[in-house]
Chain A
Amino acid sequence: MASGVVAGKQGHSALTGLAFAPDKGRARTTGQPAATRTTAHNQNGNRPGMSLALIAALPFLGALLPGLMIRAGRTACAVSTGAVTALALLLLGLNAPAVLRGEVVQTRIEWLPQLGLNANFMLDGLGLLFAGLILGIGLLIILYARFYLAKADPMGQFYTYLMLFQGAMLGIVLSDNILLLLVFWELTSLSSFLLIGYWKHLPEGRQGARMALTVTGAGGLALIGGMLILGNIAGSYDLSVILTQKVAIQSSDWYLPALLLILLGCFTKSAQFPFHFWLPHAMAAPTPVSAYLHSATMVKAGLFLMARLWPVLAGTPEWFYIVATTGLVTMLLGAKIALFKHDLKALLAFSTVSQLGLITMLLGFGTKAAATVAVFHIINHATFKAALFMTAGIVDHEAHTRDIRRLGGLRVLMPVTFAIATLAALSMAGIPPLNGFLSKELMLEEAAHTVWWQNPWLVGVLATIGALFSVAYSFRFVAHVFLGPMRDDYPHRPHDPGFGLWAAPALLAGLVVLIGLAPMATAAWLVDAAAGAVTGAAVEVKISHWHGLEPAALWMSLAAIGGGLMLLGLFAPLSRLWEGTPRPEAKRIFDGLVEPLATLSRRITDALHDGAVTRYFAIATLAILAAGVWAFVSGTHQQGDHALTPVALVPAAGWALLMVTTCAIVALHRQRLLVLILVGVVGLMVSVGFAYLSAPDLALTQISVEVATVILLLLALNYLPKTTPAESGGARRLRDGVIATLAGLGAGGLIYALMTRDFAFDTIAAYHLANAKTEGGGTNVVNVILVDFRGYDTFGEITVLGIAALVIYALTESILRPGPANDRLRLWKAESQDAGDRHPLMLVVATRLILPLAIMVGVFIFLRGHNLPGGGFIAGLVVAIALVMQYMASGFEWTAARQKIDYHALIASGVLVAAATGIGAWFNGLPFMTSAYGYVTLWPLETFELATAALFDLGVFLTVLGAVMLSLASLSRIALRAGETVNLAPYDIDPAAGRTVKEEAR
């Protein structure tokens, strides 16, 4: 972190003096290491304790306080919040002398140098002006809000949001890095969203908050684009660098896009036409928020940014015509609407729109003098408008209404409020000697000299009309609320509030008078500093009330005041006319855009994601097919040169059987049991195919997998509907058929292309063949690949199998809990008659005989696996099938009661044995899964081989066995729930007793 002060004669030379600024570009583009840049900067001297970052951070830190301090009471809460703001203001004040001398105070913290985003802060005249406004008025708002908020309002929350907002605003005006500025910019949108929606129970509050967020959020996103382009042109995201790049920026092809995007951000934030509509709706916020955000600070962020970038963006015709015209239109439109609003805050809101338009117009003129007036009016507007909002809040607070038509005659009941409101309103109207008069006259003077599209008087006349309306609405505010006869139908009998509530607006009204009376002493120095920073040239304003009779502004002012009074006199008929004319209602238009957009989004989303899995598959298949075909046809392809194998009878027959079966499956797929059998046929043919193609291991595996899965599926199907309902019509089936055919052709074509060609390189298979015996200790290469070369894959796959069984178990558990599936099972009725014997004697006896044989076969297959077809996987399946047959013969429960092995344990120990075998290699300093083998002679056996791979294979065996059995166990639990009975004897007919054995239901 480095804090520094750069000395210079005045604002601009200080800024350009920053050309030395070490951070001329991002580290990426300049290749300059970050460290040297920081060091270079440190040589400029430090001002310890003057960190601007601290000023910007204080409100954020302070945001934590109110939430806590509210426990100590509302006053403690407000005082602690105010203390933080005051501290920040004090720190700012300590920096002020340097800034006023024309220096630029800087603090630089590296944050994300790769992007050029650094926490660089700077304070110049413009920053000082805005920071002062934010903190000063912030302090007054905190005071005001303490007395404004009702007991029921959560005050801690309010102050927290307010401080977040304050920090964000401070960040904007202190940022020396435009990306950092963007961060704070978006933060103001977010925090104002919270503030506007503070009264959650009011629908207007919620909608106003969303509208403000949407509009300013949209502008913020445009601003991001604009700022990125701007930084790209300038080669840096640091303002101090960008501000020196006027020529480069204005001559760039990207100038106009950048300008448009940045202005979009500014105009939305500052409620410029046609984005002005959100501001009045944001008035649903509590009045302190309106006074703070919507008059003094946030809406001025757009103005601030235009002023900040004025040196590099202004001065072009594009700038003039866009900015000045927008400002002018906004000024007129806002003023006109303001006059006819009956809600006090709405009147003030539109008057703010109008006044902001005025300032925008001045900035748009692009001349130094106009920019100086803009700065001056920013100060004046902040003072009188905040005071007006606060008085409006007081009226609302006391009279319980803000409707002007229900008010009037309050001057007697609320003399203090009346005095404050009148001073502020007169200033807004531009009545001498108040400060509003000073800046408005200067504005009119500038407008009078501005030529718009070769038209020398248009701007002057329109500006006068705008001023005229502002006189009218200002007087209306006073006349229709405070003057006139006292009424006896106020919703609540009003009287002046306590000192706490009127202190803040009174202070501001004092400023209005003070600046008005002695502008040179109270404001000129600040205007000089700020305008110097904006325009980049020394500014020394001469502000006076009287310029003689020559200036046009005098006559324009007089015309405005006279016309304004006349307008107010004609208010009643004009108002009727206004009410009678149809006009676009912003909220309706906004809702008319956003609501259909949301509805449309919902429609699109729901239509796209309608839950129809067949359509998802159709889309996926088409996408895959299209991408695959495109990839193929857009590349070069050399046909393979393998000769086709002549067709022999046996494979042809097998192929024909496969075809027939597949067609049958398509035709009969609604009959589930039948299809299962047909799938079994396919599996059988695949097994035969493997055997025919000399892959006995695969054939064995395939056939045992087939048997096990068909049995399990049969058991599962027992409790499911036996037929699949027809859910799609003919057209869709045709479509699906076409897609499926195309996909099949694609897959077939791909396989054909692959099988008719040679590998481009030697394959890894050659190594496996050569080393299976010598290195892996087995002659069955398939098995050595499975347990050794790629044993790690097998480790993963047996885990998959184990997990699958666990999932089946867990799924069964959840199905059997009370719920629809469980209910259906309880009510389940067998669709077909049971066989006479559920556990036929012959079957029982046969399976008993087969059991030891099958286990023997399993052990045999297991042991020979390393050298001959077999191995743990197949052995596990064989033994599992033998066991499954016992269960089929005598029923699950009966059989389970006779063996004590837990299938969970079987699976887990299988995985553990496999893992332990792999880990064993570590103790020899070898990687996981390294196998070892040796030859052992054990009398009376022949010398045989022992390989650690066999231990691994044991793990495979156990997992496979456990997985099949756990699945079976889960299915049998479903059967029990469906009312299956448990037999007490191994078979139905006890030959010894000669009678049927009873079964019991569980």
Chain B
Amino acid sequence: MTHWIIAPVVLPAIIGALIVLAMRRDLLLQRIFGLAATVALLAIALALLVASSRNPPEVYFLGDWPAPFGIVMVLDRLAALMLALTAFLALMVQLYAVGTGWDARGRHFHALFQFQLMGICGAFLTGDAFNLFVFFEVLLIASYGLMIHSGGAQRLRAGVQYIAYNLVGSTLFLFGLATLYSVTGTLNMADLAVKAATLPAGDAALLRVAGVLLLLVFAIKGALVPLHFWLPNTYAQAPGPVSALFAVMTKVGAYAVLRIYTLIFPPGTEATGTLFADLLMPAALVTLVVGAIGVLGASSLARLVAFAAVASMGTLFIAIAAFTPQATAAALYYMLHSTLAAAVLFLIADLVTARRAGDSLHHALPAIAQQGLIAALFFAGAIAIAGMPPLSGFLGKLLILDASRGAGMALIWSTILITSLVIIMGFARAGSVLFWKSHASPAEPDARPAEPLAFVAVFALLAGLAALTIFAGPVMEMMQATAAQLYAPAGYIGANALPGGV
């Protein structure tokens, strides 16, 4: 038994607590320990990724209680992948926050950041449905703290909406779990999978309700229309680096859908059938459309990026909703891509707004410091998120299009392709106002200090996108193996060593 599985939860918890205990008055200490912890997290996550690709799913029995009676953590390819993605993104975001001084504009940034990582990692690793709820709470409350970091009337107002909307999600989660437990009498995910498959026919309706309620919870997290309303304002108002970190928060919802609806309610389940795909697919298509329209109609840069994030979630869920190994592999690739792309764009948007007298897209303002470089970065980020070549978004979209052949293909293809155009138009308009129109007015003297760390972070994220593009073949191989593991849950269930030898 390796204790490394729990390290991604315990490490940030301890460092977060230590920062509160001993370093809360010294920013430098917080930065050093915070960054060191995230570096360590990244190293652990990569090691787990390697381990998960060599071994079958591995279960960690917390408290040494056998499944399904205690809580288990399960390391499989998907969990390890999400961990690695989170850790990489977190490190870059943290570098950016340190580099721009965002972390100094309010209290407890680094502690909350670590607790946020604890919550996200815990959610990815858990093999217990109720424990998933607990870690949703951890990441929610920490994200609220980060979201309102450094305050301001607008941000606090958006924060209230964020927390209120997500508390609705938490409540719904409890309803869903209670229903699930009342029908099956268990909380362990592997056990739930076994029970859901052998459920008496008379319980089917309630199981379906439980599944749908949980799906809606994850849809709130994943910002699916019509449950996305919390996202645009939250992402637009949160501090730039926090929005960038939140790029992975929506993916927690996507992860949970992938996990629960391939493990507990796989497409072949008699009681649920294609219920979830039938709900997800239209919602995903509408989400993509709403996001694209939002991009074209955005009145501010931050909202533009926020709606681009909504659109990318729509695309992602289109691929997920197909629930085939091929489409899931494409979804995973796109998930890696869209997380990094949305994050880097949020950081670039923050670079712009920090230098510009406002982030309105209605009128041109004087040129900003480092305009040329930032414009180039914006161009790259826009290409990435709009899914244009040469960056990985294009490959991701091609993969998704390729995987969604068959029924409904005409609708899916035309939606994805037409929204791509709308998004491109939106970004072209925005870039034109931000960087071209502004040339009319003289550049102001460079008042801002160079922020090398911030640019390092942005370049590293872009390099990540480039690597995803160049090594698309090997990455995709990994995604296929991950998807294959998801659709062959026997390994996952078997690792739990449930009584009765299932």
CB within 8 Å of B: which residues of A? 28, 110-117, 157, 179, 182-184, 186-187, 190, 193-194, 197, 200-201, 205-206, 209-210, 213-214, 217-218, 221-222, 224-225, 228, 232, 594, 597-606, 608-609, 611, 613, 616-617, 619-620, 623-624, 627-628, 630-638, 747, 750, 753-755, 757, 759-765, 767-768, 771, 788-793, 795-797, 799-800, 802-804, 806-807, 809-811, 813-815, 817, 819-821, 904-905, 907-909, 911-912, 915, 918-919, 921-922, 925-931
Contact = CB atoms under 8 A, between A and B. Distances in A.
Q: Is the interface of B mostly helix, strand, loop or mixed?
A: helix
Given A624-B213, A760-B184, A928-B10, A115 B107 contact: no
Interface string B346-369: 000000000000000000000000
A104 B268 CA distance: 49
5 contacts: A197-B436, A620-B220, A747-B175, A815-B151, A926-B64
B134 A793 contact: yes
A754 B1 CA distance: 39
B497 interface: no
B459 interface: no
Given A762-B185, A796-B134, A623 B227 contact: yes
B63 A791 contact: yes
B420 interface: yes
Q: Is the interface of A mostly helix, strand, loop or mixed?
A: helix
Given A803-B138, A806-B111, A919 B10 contact: yes
B229 A598 contact: no
Contacts of A918: 10
Nearest to A114: B476
Interface in B409-445: 413-414, 417-418, 420-422, 424-426, 428-429, 432, 435-437, 439-440
Contact of A619 (B130, B226, B298, B394): B226
Interface in B369-391: 372, 379, 383, 388-390
A187 B389 contact: yes
B149 interface: yes
Contacts of A764: 68-69, 185-188
Q: Lowest 5 CB-CB distances: which A-B pairs, in order?
A: A638-B202, A814-B151, A601-B297, A763-B185, A602-B297
Given A200-B439, A635-B206, 5 more contacts: A599-B297, A600-B297, A632-B208, A797-B134, A927-B6
Contacts, number: 378
Q: How large is the interface on B (under 10, 10 to 19, 20 to 34, 35 or more residues)?
A: 35 or more
Looking at A795, A817, A915, which has the most chain B CB atoms within 10 Å of its CB?
A: A795
A218 B414 CA distance: 11
Contacts of A747: 175
B3 A206 contact: no
B202 A929 contact: no
Interface stretch (B37-45, B75-83, B160-168, B312-320): B160-168
Contacts of A218: 421
B428 A193 contact: yes
Interface string B122-133: 100000001100
Contact of A908 (B18, B164, B436, B472): B18
Interface string B202-221: 11111111011101100010
Contact of A228 (B152, B153, B160, B402): B402
Contacts of A200: 435-437, 439
Interface string B255-284: 000000000000000011001000100000
A210 B203 contact: no
Contacts of B61: 927
A759 B182 contact: yes
B402 A789 contact: no
A112 B227 contact: no
Contact of A759 (B63, B70, B184): B184
A634 B183 CA distance: 17
B86 interface: no
A185 to B, nearest CB: 8
Contacts of A197: 432, 436
B211 A631 contact: yes
Nearest to A217: B424
A599 B299 CA distance: 10
B298 A810 contact: no
A765 B68 CA distance: 10
A760 B472 contact: no
B287 interface: no
Contacts of A606: 297, 299
Contacts of A771: 69
Contact of A623 (B216, B299, B398): B216
Contacts of A767: 69
Contacts of B150: 814
B182 A754 contact: yes
Contacts of A796: 122, 131, 134-135, 137-138
A762 B498 CA distance: 13
Contacts of B62: 791-792, 927-929
A183 B390 contact: yes
Nearest to B200: A760
B428 A213 contact: yes
B425 A210 contact: yes
B307 A605 contact: yes
A2 B444 CA distance: 53
A28 B60 CA distance: 35
B31 interface: no
Nearest to B299: A602
A153 to B, nearest CB: 12
Nearest to B168: A620
Contacts of B63: 788-789, 791-792, 927-931
Contacts of B294: 601, 605, 609
B21 A908 contact: yes
B271 A112 contact: no
B372 to A, nearest CB: 8
B390 A609 contact: no
A821 B3 CA distance: 47
B290 interface: yes
